[in-house]
Amino acid sequence: MTDERPVIGIFGAGKVGTALARLLVTAGYDVALTGSPRQTALDLLVSVVAPGARVAEPRQLIDEADVIIVAVPFGKAETVPWESFDGKVVVDATNYWPPIDGTIAAIDDDPRSTSEIHAASNPRARVVKSLNHLGYHEMEDDSMPAGSPLRRALAVVGDDPDARALVARLIDDLGFDAVDGGPLANGRALEPGHPAFGRELSAAELAALMAAERVLVA
């Protein structure tokens, strides 16, 4: 990686992935997306809904990207090539959502956060959980310039401090205040059913909530 802004690769060209692509392109990032093999006319789709972003095959995206964002439905997360993410900063923006994914007993019975489960697929990947606790429509509606008193905060959790710091800078460029939430296990506080999920909070409010939730989920 150079001193220039990192190249961003997004797995998932749905509503979340394309909303992120639009914001990232506006912020000056080189953005590549890859979608489902069944997703036809992906080049046309991206040119219309995320102009400035480009389409790449999964292997090309992995090779070129400094930061990979996983923005696929949770039920499709196992189709993402986690085993190929060695050394990459990987932002897990997925959510286990039973109304959509159905009840998955293995997930319900696992005490780990869902991002810890994904990270276990490749311990060499530098997995960070973020961008999952707001809706795709809020990503663009709530994005604000730095210093805005009404700026919304997003938490960043992960076991690699340097990866957290890199993603925090990305969050700031997207138009949100980043809150360092500590280790990946704290990602449970950002998942559906926990108070941080879906709430518009300032950095101070989110930091306080994360501190309280760590006690509850520990």
For residue 130, what are the contacts with CB-CB under 8 A and spacing of at least 6? 91, 92, 93, 154, 155, 156, 157, 167, 171, 178, 190
Look up the pTM and report it: 0.94
Residue pair 68/85 in contact (Cβ under 8 Å)? The answer is yes
pLDDT for res 102: 92
> Does 146 reside within a domain?
yes
> Does 1 reside within a domain?
no
> Does 181 reside within a domain?
yes
> Does 55 reside within a domain?
yes
> Does 3 reside within a domain?
no
Per-residue pLDDT of the chain (218 residues; tens, 9 = 90+): 445 899 999 999 999 999 999 999 999 999 999 987 666 689 888 999 999 999 999 999 999 999 999 999 999 999 999 999 999 999 999 999 998 899 999 999 999 999 999 999 999 999 999 999 999 999 999 999 999 999 999 999 999 999 999 999 999 999 999 999 999 999 999 999 988 999 999 999 999 999 987 755 54
Total domains in the chain come to 1
| 166/118 Cα distance (integer angstroms) | 20
Residue pair 197/154 in contact (Cβ under 8 Å)? The answer is no
Domain range for 60 is 8-217
CATH number, domain of 64, equals 3.40.50.720
> Does 136 reside within a domain?
yes
| 198/95 Cα distance (integer angstroms) | 12
pLDDT for res 4: 80
> Does 74 reside within a domain?
yes
pLDDT for res 72: 96
> Does 56 reside within a domain?
yes
